[in-house]
Amino acid sequence: MAQNYQRRGTFEKLAQNKEWYFDGAHNTEAIEQLISHLEEIAPPNCWTAVLSFMKDKLNPEIASLWSRFPNIKLAGMKFERAATLAEMKQFFPHATELILNEKNRKNDFETELVIFTGSFYFYNEVCKWMGTILAIEDNLSALKE
Protein backbone atom coordinates (compact mmCIF):
# COMPACT_ATOMS: atom_id res chain seq x y z
CA MET A 1 0.00 0.00 0.00
CA ALA A 2 2.80 2.49 0.82
CA GLN A 3 4.19 2.32 -2.70
CA ASN A 4 0.81 3.47 -4.10
CA TYR A 5 0.65 6.48 -1.78
CA GLN A 6 0.72 9.90 -3.44
CA ARG A 7 1.17 13.03 -1.40
CA ARG A 8 -1.92 15.11 -2.00
CA GLY A 9 -1.39 18.79 -2.60
CA THR A 10 2.33 18.67 -3.43
CA PHE A 11 2.58 19.70 -7.07
CA GLU A 12 -0.34 17.45 -7.84
CA LYS A 13 -1.73 17.39 -11.37
CA LEU A 14 -5.45 18.06 -11.09
CA ALA A 15 -6.71 16.90 -14.50
CA GLN A 16 -5.34 14.44 -17.03
CA ASN A 17 -6.12 16.60 -20.05
CA LYS A 18 -4.96 19.94 -18.58
CA GLU A 19 -1.72 21.33 -17.25
CA TRP A 20 -3.33 22.39 -13.98
CA TYR A 21 -1.55 21.74 -10.70
CA PHE A 22 -2.09 22.24 -6.99
CA ASP A 23 0.61 22.85 -4.44
CA GLY A 24 -0.05 23.78 -0.82
CA ALA A 25 3.07 25.98 -0.55
CA HIS A 26 2.27 28.59 2.08
CA ASN A 27 5.58 29.77 3.54
CA THR A 28 8.61 31.48 2.05
CA GLU A 29 10.78 28.39 1.65
CA ALA A 30 8.05 26.25 0.10
CA ILE A 31 6.98 29.04 -2.27
CA GLU A 32 10.59 29.62 -3.37
CA GLN A 33 10.92 25.90 -4.19
CA LEU A 34 7.57 25.85 -5.99
CA ILE A 35 8.42 28.91 -8.08
CA SER A 36 11.78 27.40 -9.00
CA HIS A 37 9.98 24.25 -10.16
CA LEU A 38 7.41 26.27 -12.14
CA GLU A 39 10.19 28.22 -13.87
CA GLU A 40 11.87 24.95 -14.90
CA ILE A 41 8.67 24.10 -16.77
CA ALA A 42 7.93 27.51 -18.30
CA PRO A 43 8.61 31.21 -17.69
CA PRO A 44 6.29 33.03 -15.24
CA ASN A 45 4.35 34.78 -18.03
CA CYS A 46 3.16 31.36 -19.28
CA TRP A 47 1.55 30.49 -15.95
CA THR A 48 -1.69 31.56 -14.35
CA ALA A 49 -1.26 31.55 -10.57
CA VAL A 50 -4.50 31.17 -8.63
CA LEU A 51 -3.72 32.20 -5.08
CA SER A 52 -5.58 31.92 -1.78
CA PHE A 53 -4.07 32.44 1.67
CA MET A 54 -4.71 32.24 5.36
CA LYS A 55 -4.44 35.71 6.95
CA ASP A 56 -1.32 34.81 8.93
CA LYS A 57 0.53 33.69 5.78
CA LEU A 58 -0.21 36.77 3.67
CA ASN A 59 2.62 39.31 3.94
CA PRO A 60 4.86 41.51 1.75
CA GLU A 61 7.58 38.86 1.48
CA ILE A 62 5.14 36.24 0.15
CA ALA A 63 3.63 38.79 -2.25
CA SER A 64 7.07 39.76 -3.57
CA LEU A 65 7.84 36.14 -4.44
CA TRP A 66 4.79 36.03 -6.71
CA SER A 67 5.45 39.49 -8.21
CA ARG A 68 7.21 38.08 -11.31
CA PHE A 69 4.00 36.25 -12.31
CA PRO A 70 1.87 38.66 -14.36
CA ASN A 71 -1.21 36.40 -14.52
CA ILE A 72 -2.54 36.19 -10.97
CA LYS A 73 -6.07 35.37 -9.92
CA LEU A 74 -7.25 35.52 -6.31
CA ALA A 75 -9.80 33.16 -4.83
CA GLY A 76 -11.46 33.48 -1.46
CA MET A 77 -12.08 30.68 0.99
CA LYS A 78 -14.83 30.27 3.56
CA PHE A 79 -12.70 29.94 6.67
CA GLU A 80 -12.48 32.40 9.53
CA ARG A 81 -8.67 32.38 9.25
CA ALA A 82 -8.73 32.89 5.47
CA ALA A 83 -7.62 36.20 4.00
CA THR A 84 -10.46 38.07 2.35
CA LEU A 85 -10.28 39.13 -1.28
CA ALA A 86 -9.86 42.74 -0.12
CA GLU A 87 -6.90 41.76 2.05
CA MET A 88 -5.27 39.83 -0.78
CA LYS A 89 -5.89 42.71 -3.22
CA GLN A 90 -3.76 44.96 -0.99
CA PHE A 91 -0.77 42.73 -1.77
CA PHE A 92 -1.77 41.89 -5.36
CA PRO A 93 -3.45 45.05 -6.74
CA HIS A 94 -3.25 43.92 -10.39
CA ALA A 95 -4.72 40.47 -9.76
CA THR A 96 -8.23 39.55 -10.86
CA GLU A 97 -10.79 37.72 -8.80
CA LEU A 98 -11.77 34.13 -9.49
CA ILE A 99 -15.03 33.11 -7.87
CA LEU A 100 -15.08 29.37 -7.37
CA ASN A 101 -18.71 28.43 -7.89
CA GLU A 102 -20.80 26.39 -10.27
CA LYS A 103 -21.59 29.34 -12.57
CA ASN A 104 -17.96 30.32 -13.03
CA ARG A 105 -16.34 27.17 -14.31
CA LYS A 106 -12.93 26.58 -15.78
CA ASN A 107 -13.18 28.42 -19.10
CA ASP A 108 -11.04 31.37 -17.99
CA PHE A 109 -7.83 29.44 -18.60
CA GLU A 110 -8.79 26.34 -20.52
CA THR A 111 -5.45 25.85 -22.29
CA GLU A 112 -3.00 27.48 -19.89
CA LEU A 113 -0.49 26.25 -17.37
CA VAL A 114 -2.20 26.85 -14.03
CA ILE A 115 -0.94 26.56 -10.46
CA PHE A 116 -3.43 26.74 -7.60
CA THR A 117 -1.57 27.50 -4.37
CA GLY A 118 -1.21 29.44 -1.13
CA SER A 119 -2.76 27.08 1.39
CA PHE A 120 -3.50 23.39 1.87
CA TYR A 121 -6.98 24.52 2.94
CA PHE A 122 -7.50 25.68 -0.66
CA TYR A 123 -7.25 22.09 -1.99
CA ASN A 124 -10.84 21.01 -1.33
CA GLU A 125 -12.21 24.31 -2.66
CA VAL A 126 -10.35 23.81 -5.94
CA CYS A 127 -11.35 20.15 -6.23
CA LYS A 128 -15.02 20.93 -5.62
CA TRP A 129 -14.90 23.72 -8.19
CA MET A 130 -13.34 21.40 -10.74
CA GLY A 131 -15.91 18.73 -10.03
CA THR A 132 -13.23 16.20 -9.14
CA ILE A 133 -14.01 15.64 -5.48
CA LEU A 134 -15.71 12.32 -6.28
CA ALA A 135 -12.70 11.16 -8.27
CA ILE A 136 -10.43 12.01 -5.33
CA GLU A 137 -12.66 10.08 -2.94
CA ASP A 138 -12.57 7.11 -5.34
CA ASN A 139 -8.75 7.27 -5.37
CA LEU A 140 -8.59 7.38 -1.57
CA SER A 141 -10.94 4.40 -1.34
CA ALA A 142 -8.75 2.46 -3.77
CA LEU A 143 -5.67 3.21 -1.66
CA LYS A 144 -7.38 1.74 1.43
CA GLU A 145 -8.11 -1.56 -0.37
Average pLDDT over residues 59-79: 94
Strand runs labelled E in 1-145 = 12-13, 20-23, 47-51, 72-74, 96-97, 113-117
Gap between the Cα atoms of 124 and 9, Å rounded: 10
pLDDT at 112: 81
Answer with the residue of higher pLDDT: 37 or 111: 37
Average pLDDT over residues 48-71: 96
For residue 96, what are the contacts with CB-CB under 8 A and spacing of at least 6?
72, 73, 74
pLDDT at 44: 95
Answer with the residue of higher pLDDT: 11 or 137: 11
CATH architecture group of domain 26-137: Alpha-Beta Complex (3.90)
pLDDT at 131: 76
> Cβ-count burial of 93 within 10 angstroms (0-12 exposed, 13-18 middle, 19+ buried)?
exposed
What pLDDT digit, counting tens, does each position of 90-127 carry? Answer: 999 999 998 876 555 556 666 689 999 999 999 988 88
Percentage, residues of the chain above pLDDT 90 = 57
Domain ranges of the chain: 26-137
Mean pLDDT of the chain: 83
